[in-house]
Amino acid sequence: MKDQQALMITADLFTDNDIKDCDEILPDVYLLKGFALQQASQLLITIEQINAQSTFRKMQTPGGFYMSAAITNCGDVGWHTDRHGYRYTAIDPLTNLAWPEMPQCFRELAETAAQRCGFSDFNPDVCLMNQYEVGAKMGLHQDKDEKDFSQPIVSVSLGLPIIFQFGGASRNDPKQRIPLEHGDVIVWGRAARRYYHGVLTLKPGQHPLTGPYRYNLTFRKAS
């Protein structure tokens, strides 16, 4: 009952019914449409502050190709790839300093979203941040560099929309496509933690807050 009331109060802050509380779009995959809309401009200011310390950069894969999305991190560790492989590091190899601290407004958003979807003790230690320019994409992959698969991942989309694609635990499983828009949050855990996923090529556009870019924040418990 209390939760219901809180939800109604939250929903009242939005002009129309653009907030859906935790829609389970597949088993263990939850879409919180517009959940981060209210904080979006604050999040973008904070992204810019992190970018000033540890800038977005295109990383090299072990195969020698460069990813088309530019990446940075905040938190106790950060995800990194180069010719030697994928891993989490405590030091940003570009600055030789610790990754920027995870801001409180990031942590609160991630924990609240996870809680709404039944993950009551999510305690992320890293936020992996992707910046997509027009033409950038992310091929089908699994997130499997984290130690603890019992923890969910929370994703926050900002700026231009993109088509998100996800299947099952094996690469050939049938795939679904859903558009992810500014302010959308996805939470996935349990079985879905191992699902293959990616995003299609970012189409040209201008977003009032991010111009020709899309940002995605993924909150994880890596170590």
- 160 binds ligand MD3 per the rule CB under 6 A: no
Nearer to Fe ion, 92 or 143 (CB): 143
Q: Which of residues 90-149 bind Fe ion (CB under 5 A)?
A: 143
Sign of CA dihedral 126, 168, 34, 58: positive
CA separation for the pair 111, 122 (Å, rounded): 6
Question: According to the binding rule CB under 6 A, does residue 114 interact with ligand MD3?
Answer: no
Q: Give least dist CB 125 to ligand MD3, A.
A: 16
Among the residue ranges 34-42, 44-52, 169-177, 188-196, the one whose residues contact ligand MD3 (CB under 6 A):
188-196
For residue 47, state whether it binds ligand MD3 (rule: CB under 6 A): no
Q: At what angle do helices 40-53 and 104-116 cross, to 10 degrees?
A: 130
Annotated binding-site members for substrate = 79, 86-88, 145, 171
The two structure tokens encoding residue 9: 């109060």
Q: How many other β-carbons are positioned within 10 Å of the β-carbon of residue 163?
A: 15
Ramachandran quadrant class, 10 (left: phi over 0; alpha: psi -120 to 50; beta: rest) = alpha
Q: If you search the block for the tokens 């091929």, which residue do you land on?
A: 139
For 21, phi then psi, to 5°, come to: -80, 105
Residues 19, 117, 138, 202: which binds ligand MD3 (CB under 6 A)? Answer: 138
Binder of residue 220, out of ligand MD3, Fe ion, none (CB less than 5 to 8 A by kind): none
Contact set with ligand MD3 (CB under 6 A):
29, 128, 130, 138, 143, 155, 164, 166, 186, 188, 192, 195, 197, 199, 216, 218
